[in-house]
């Protein structure tokens, strides 16, 4: 039986896919996880964050001007993070930085001293923490200075809210990295995304979807005190983000190689552009005979299929959600190929089983899930 409480995730290199491996002789207890959608909508409205309101439209952050819910009035000046920012501050309801020696940030907290508010790094600095830098006139960036006890490892996280009224199914992300490679140590600075519903059983890398296109590693050799720009962009697919659901852009930093002090890294000109659909195709396992209408909102198949599931559940669509209803069982047949889908929704009392007849206990069947695993 499929169990949302167990680690059933097999890591793969494709950043937009994870694989659930179901042992054909394993039966586990179902854990019920519930989430009140109306409560989620209500709680989202109480906090600030980057509100993504339109599909096909750039939502940009440049640290030079006010963006409601993200930055305070005027340009960022390295004076910290608070839930109601004044001039020069960032909104702590949108930003969370973890890995600082002064402690991890939580959304909505006040952080205006020490590591969180180091001021100006337009010229080289040595104290670890969060700064701003003026890269050119009227062009500022968010800067971090890692050290042995700060941001090694660490994360910068930007919280976003889907206010498009649609189900987001792709996120295009671009941003500038500016590196001051003035030290003889190499630093990693990689980016990814995560959603509210991601957990240990739905991830490919510690609860996040990462992309090789967003990886960056600074050179270990010292190349001077000036910031050098590196651009990164990637389009994430294979997720479904509900209307009113949070999603997060995550930048991770850590030591790579070399010795001594660390380079300063700056982040600027973040652009997020999403695409969405008005409704999802929900495939439900119901009693009765299988139907095969690709365009119907619900794909039905027999309550206990046998043999080659690839054909008994035909047609399958990568863009579809699959819902196993309470009291029903989805069987992955002994001759079935990998089943591909978006979200897998397993209702309380439903089961996902591998067909065990005639199969050795070491055999596994695979479901390629391009979205989230949900037990409701």
Q: Are residues 255 and 327 in the same domain?
A: no
On whether both 139 and 272 belong to a single domain, the answer is yes
Please indicate, yes or no, if residue 179 is contained in any of the structural domains.
yes
pLDDT at 170: 86
Same domain flag for 63 and 208: yes
My answer on whether 113 and 256 are in the same domain is yes
Same domain, yes or no: 25 and 122: no
CB 264 within 8 A of CB 121: yes
Strands 227-241, 282-285: parallel, antiparallel or unpaired by DSSP?
A: unpaired
Task: Output the pLDDT for position 349.
Answer: 74
Are residues 312 and 202 part of one domain?
A: no
Radius of gyration of the chain (CA): 23
Residue 40 lies in a domain: no
42 found inside a domain: no
Question: Residue 194: what pLDDT?
Answer: 84
Query: What pLDDT score does 354 carry?
Result: 61
Whether 181 and 295 share a structural domain: no
Q: Which of 208, 239, 194, 244 is nearest to 36 (CA)?
A: 244
Own/partner long-range contacts of 202-206 (Cβ < 8 Å, ≥24 apart): 202/9, 202/18, 202/369, 202/372, 202/373, 203/9, 203/18, 204/9, 204/11, 204/12, 204/15, 204/17, 204/18, 205/11
Q: Does residue 24 share a domain with residue 121?
A: no
Does 41 fall in a domain? no
Q: Answer yes or no: do 288 and 345 share one domain.
A: yes
Residue where one domain finishes, among candidates 277, 311, 329: 277
The residue segments making up the domain with residue 338 are 1-34+280-376
Identify the pLDDT of residue 342.
66
The pLDDT value given to residue 367: 63
Give pLDDT, residue 69: 94
Same domain for 133 and 213: yes
Q: Which of 277, 302, 326 is the last residue of a domain?
A: 277
The pLDDT of residue 241 is: 84
Q: Beta partners for 251? A: 156, 191
Same domain, 88 and 228: yes
Instruction: Return the closest-CA partner of residue 242 out of 341, 345, 169.
Output: 169
- Our count of domains for the chain comes to 2
Taking only the tens place, the pLDDT of each residue in 286-301 is 443 334 343 333 444 4
What local confidence, expressed as pLDDT, does residue 240 receive?
73
| Contact (CB, 8 A) for 24 and 356 | yes
- pLDDT reported for residue 329: 64
The residue from 277, 300, 329 where one domain ends is: 277
Task: Say how far residue 356 (Cα) sits from the centre of its chain.
Answer: 35
What residue ranges of the chain have pLDDT lower than 70? 1-48, 197-210, 238-239, 280-342, 351-372, 374-376
Residues 285 and 273 in one domain: no
Which pTM value belongs to this model?
Answer: 0.69
CATH number at residue 101: 2.60.120
């Amino acid at each position: 039986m499929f169990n949302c409480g167990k680690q059933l995730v097999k890591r793969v290199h494709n950043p937009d896919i994870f694989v659930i491996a179901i042992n054909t002789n394993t039966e586990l207890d179902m854990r019920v996880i519930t989430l009140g959608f109306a409560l989620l909508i209500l709680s989202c409205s109480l906090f600030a964050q980057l509100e993504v309101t339109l599909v096909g439209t750039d939502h940009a952050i440049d640290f030079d001007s006010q963006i409601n819910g993200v930055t305070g009035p005027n340009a960022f000046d390295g004076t910290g993070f608070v839930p109601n920012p004044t001039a020069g501050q960032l909104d702590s309801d949108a930003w969370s930085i973890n890995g600082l020696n002064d402690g991890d940030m939580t959304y909505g907290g006040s952080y205006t001293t020490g590591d969180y508010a180091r001021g100006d790094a337009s010229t080289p600095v040595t104290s670890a923490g969060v700064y701003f830098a003026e890269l050119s006139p009227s062009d500022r960036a968010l800067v971090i200075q890692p050290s042995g006890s700060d941001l090694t490892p660490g994360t910068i996280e930007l919280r976003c809210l889907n206010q498009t009224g649609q189900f987001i199914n792709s996120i295009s992300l671009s941003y500038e990295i500016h590196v001051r490679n003035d030290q003889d140590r190499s630093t990693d600075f990689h980016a990814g995304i995560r959603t509210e519903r991601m957990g240990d059983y739905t991830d490919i890398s510690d609860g996040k979807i990462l992309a090789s296109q967003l990886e960056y590693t600074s050179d270990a050799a010292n190349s001077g005190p000036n910031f050098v720009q590196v651009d990164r962009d990637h389009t994430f697919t294979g997720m479904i983000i509900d209307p009113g659901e949070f999603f997060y852009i995550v930048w991770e930093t850590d030591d790579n190689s070399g010795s001594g002090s660390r380079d300063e890294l700056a982040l600027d000109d973040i652009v997020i552009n999403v695409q969405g659909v008005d409704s999802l195709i929900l495939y439900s396992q119901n009693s009765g005979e299988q139907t095969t209408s690709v365009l119907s909102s619900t794909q039905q198949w027999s309550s206990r299929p046998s043999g080659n599931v690839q054909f008994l559940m035909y047609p399958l669509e990568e863009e579809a959600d699959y819902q196993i209803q309470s009291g029903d069982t989805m069987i992955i047949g002994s001759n079935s190929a990998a089943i591909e889908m978006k979200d897998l929704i397993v209702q309380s009392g439903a089961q996902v089983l591998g067909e065990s007849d005639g199969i050795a206990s070491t055999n596994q069947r695979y479901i390629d899930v391009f979205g989230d695993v949900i037990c409701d």
